Amino acid sequence: MPPKTKPPKKIKGEELIDILVNNGILHEVNRTFFNPIGLRLVLNEDFSIDIEKSEDEWGILLDTVNKFSIQAYMKYAIEKKALRQEYAGFIIQTRDMIRKDKLEVPVTPTSTLKLQTLLKQVDDFTYEVKKRLMEKSKTYDSELFDFDESALSYDMFEDLQHDRFTDGVARAMLLSNIENLNEKIKKIREIDKKQKRIYKEKR
């Protein structure tokens, strides 16, 4: 049987910092939802919450993206979403829940349950690939060379043969549209040259 539904409780004081800040929720909800539409959710020192509105047409831009907050949020969200998916059959709700307190057998068609299971597997694996790219970013992001198709292919097969699936699939994704990827890298190189010329800052 599904767990008995409990009424939501209000979060106050220090618990707001623990939930919203330590779990990266405040940073992520601003970065992905509020900032693009010109808004910002602010947690004040007295634990009150405000919403600020930008007058700029392009919304609010962050000076720094906090990667640690993103990782904290993703870890927190994956655990929560897995439980929600198991109970409700969805993560983002698009339909009414009917008799949810009496639901003993899922009403979702088994074909949908299977598809959701497969997609969840892909989502989890994609998260691991993104995590690996972020882990290596400090070492490789400053390099602006074109990706070598032959080298990527060789390393990809090596990874898959030795069960290094995360690395293998990451390289396969890069290979899937390598011409477009290298074209974008070329444009980034041009931006890099302009930045060095204009700002003349040591990197």
For residues 155 and 153, give the distance between their C-alpha atoms in angstroms, rounded to a whole number.
6
List the one residue out of 125, 131, 15, 11 whose CA is nearest residue 70: 131
Instruction: Specify the pLDDT at position 139.
Output: 65
Write the CB contacts of 58 (distance below 8 Å, at least 6 apart in sequence). Answer: none
Which amino acid type is present at position 108? T
Q: How many CB atoms lie within 10 A of CB 84?
A: 15
The per-residue pLDDT for range 122-164, each reduced to its tens digit, is 888 888 888 877 777 666 667 788 888 999 899 999 999 999 9
* CA 11, chain centre distance (Å): 25
pLDDT along the chain (203 residues), means of 10: 70 88 94 94 92 92 90 90 81 72 61 82 86 74 83 91 90 90 90 83 50
Instruction: Specify the pLDDT at position 102.
Output: 53
List the one residue out of 203, 11, 3, 197 whose CA is nearest residue 103: 3
Instruction: Specify the pLDDT at position 203.
Output: 47
Instruction: Specify the pLDDT at position 3.
Output: 55
Instruction: Specify the pLDDT at position 6.
Output: 77
Tokens matching residue 103: 């639901």
Contact between 123 and 27 under an 8 Å Cβ cutoff? The reply is no
pTM of the prediction?
0.47
For residues 199 and 186, give the distance between their C-alpha atoms in angstroms, rounded to a whole number.
20
